């Protein structure tokens, strides 16, 4: 019987336990979870605490609830847009879906490229924090690389958010940690997408032939005065889809995340 013994809050332990069972394939798509009351009894915690842990997995897209119960969600070949990721940060504190695993390949302070300095308004002779990662989606043994991404941050954040220089995922989200540490808040985003051929680095990371078609994107997350908290670049194989919804009323459009 599992017991809440670790330092993490009990709801986090419940969340991590079921996330691990889902991602390692012990629970498959469509499998039904025990009722929340049963989970609470097994863990020796309150029903509200158990429900909080399960609810977070619903936010992350790993579970769905119906009148018949709570089930492991079906994986879709759909990737999040930067806007989707920011919406998830605001709703639940995490940028990525737990159906995906981020493998951080590099986290370092480097001499800033000229184009990055221009985009972020930084000293072109200075440094910048660069994090490169590969996102793997799916459950074993069908997990596959679905995105290569690079995130750039101002060098002064190294002291305030040291996790940015660690080769492991930032708990929650990098931008969330930055906002908490600095008091600065993202108020706007700008995304750019285009199709092109994969170069050697991208093809190797995504398991594609060099020259294969990919969807490449870049985004800027900025605060009210225009300061850039995060600049990012990413690319997806052609088998992945980006999707977003919008409402159209009185000749105007209004974005609506999914």
What's 61's domain CATH number? 1.10.10.10
Specify whether 61 is located in the same domain as 92.
no
Do 85 and 45 have their domain in common? no
- Residues 158 and 56 occupy one common structural domain: no
The pLDDT, as a whole number, for residue 126 is 97
* Residues 67, 165 share a domain: no
- When the pLDDT of each residue in the chain is averaged and rounded to a whole number, the result is 87
Residues 57 and 86 grouped into a single domain: no
User: How many residues are there in the chain?
Assistant: 258
42: preceding bond cis by omega (within 30 degrees): no
170 within some domain? yes
Residue 191 has φ and ψ, to the nearest 5°, of: -115, 145
Q: What is the mean pLDDT of residues 115-121?
A: 97
pLDDT class of 241 with cuts at 50, 70, 90: confident
Tally of structural domains, the chain: 2
Last residue of a domain, one of 24, 40, 72: 72
For residue 56, the enclosing domain spans 10-72
CATH number for position 213: 3.40.1410.10
pLDDT given at position 52: 93
Report pLDDT for 257. 46
Burial level of 86, CB count in 10 A (0-12/13-18/19+)? buried
Q: Is residue 254 part of a domain?
A: no
Handedness of CA 188, 223, 159, 130 (dihedral sign): positive
Q: Which of 10-19, 24-33, 90-99, 135-144 has the highest mean pLDDT?
A: 10-19
- pLDDT at res. 258: 43
Q: Are 234 and 247 in contact (CB under 8 A)?
A: no
What confidence tier does 25 reach under pLDDT thresholds 50, 70, 90? confident
Does 258 reside within a domain? Answer: no
Q: Give the whole-angstrom CA distance, residue 185 versus residue 188.
A: 9
> 136: burial class by Cβ within 10 Å (0-12, 13-18, 19+)?
middle
- SS3 at position 24: coil
- Please report, rounded to a whole number, the percentage of residues in the chain having pLDDT higher than 90: 59
Residues 152 and 197 in one domain: yes
pLDDT the model gives residue 3: 56
The pLDDT of residue 256 is above 60? no
Name the least confident of 82-96, 172-186, 227-241.
82-96
253 occurs within a structural domain: no
Residues 173 and 189 reside in one and the same domain: yes
Identify whether residues 96 and 144 lie together within a single domain: yes
3 located within any domain: no
Give me the pLDDT at residue 1, please: 52
Least confident of 143-147, 159-163, 164-168, 206-210: 143-147
Task: Clarify whether residues 84 and 15 are in a common domain.
Answer: no
Note whether residue 160 is domain-resident.
yes
Tell me, what's the pLDDT at 175? Answer: 94
Is residue 208, in this structure, part of any structural domain at all?
yes
Say if CB 184 and CB 155 are below 8 A apart.
no
Q: Is residue 70 pLDDT above 90, yes or no? A: yes
Q: Answer with the one of 72, 94, 126 that is the final residue of a domain.
A: 72
Is residue 221 included in any domain, yes or no?
A: yes
65 and 85 housed in the same domain: no
Residues 23 and 103 in one domain: no
Question: Of 27, 42, 72, which residue constitutes the final position of a domain?
Answer: 72
Is residue 6's pLDDT more than 80? no
User: With bands split at pLDDT 50, 70 and 90, how would you rate the model's confidence at 73?
Assistant: confident
Strands (E), the chain: 63-66, 69-72, 78-79, 100-111, 127-137, 144-153, 188-197, 213-222, 228-237, 241-242, 245-249, 252-256
Rounded to whole angstroms, the Cα distance separating 95 from 151 reads 13
Tell me, what's the pLDDT at 81? 84
Residue pair 151/131 in contact (Cβ under 8 Å)? The answer is yes
Is the same domain home to 97 and 56? no
How far from 175 is each of 146, 170, 180, 232, 250, CA to CA, in Å? 21, 9, 9, 11, 35
| Mean pLDDT across 139-143 | 66
Least confident of 55-69, 94-108, 172-186: 94-108
Which candidate, 24, 107, 114, places its Cα nearest to that of 72?
24
């Amino acid at each position: 019987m599992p017991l809440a013994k670790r330092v993490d809050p009990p709801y986090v332990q419940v969340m991590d336990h079921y996330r691990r069972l889902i991602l390692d394939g012990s629970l498959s798509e469509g499998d039904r979870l025990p009722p929340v009351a049963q989970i609470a009894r097994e863990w020796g915690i309150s029903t509200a605490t158990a429900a909080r842990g399960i609810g977070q997995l619903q936010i992350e897209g790993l579970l769905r609830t119906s009148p018949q119960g709570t089930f492991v969600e079906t994986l879709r070949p759909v990737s999040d847009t930067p806007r989707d990721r920011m919406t998830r940060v605001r709703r639940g504190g995490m940028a990525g879906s737990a159906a995906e695993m981020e493998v951080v390949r590099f986290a370092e302070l480097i001499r800033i490229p000229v184009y990055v300095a221009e985009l972020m308004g930084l000293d072109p002779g200075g440094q910048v924090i660069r994090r490169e990662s590969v996102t793997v989606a799916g459950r074993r043994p069908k997990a596959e690389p679905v995105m290569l991404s690079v995130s750039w941050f101002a060098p002064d954040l190294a002291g305030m958010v040291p996790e940015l220089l660690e080769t492991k995922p930032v708990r929650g989200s990098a931008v969330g940690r930055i906002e908490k540490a600095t008091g600065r808040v993202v108020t706007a985003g700008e995304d750019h997408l285009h199709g092109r051929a994969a170069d050697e680095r991208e093809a190797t990371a995504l398991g594609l032939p060099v020259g294969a078609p990919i969807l490449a994107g870049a985004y800027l997350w900025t605060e009210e005065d225009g300061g850039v908290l995060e600049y990012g670049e990413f690319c997806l194989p052609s088998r992945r889809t980006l999707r977003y919804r919008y409402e159209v009323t009185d000749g105007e459009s209004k974005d609506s995340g999914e």
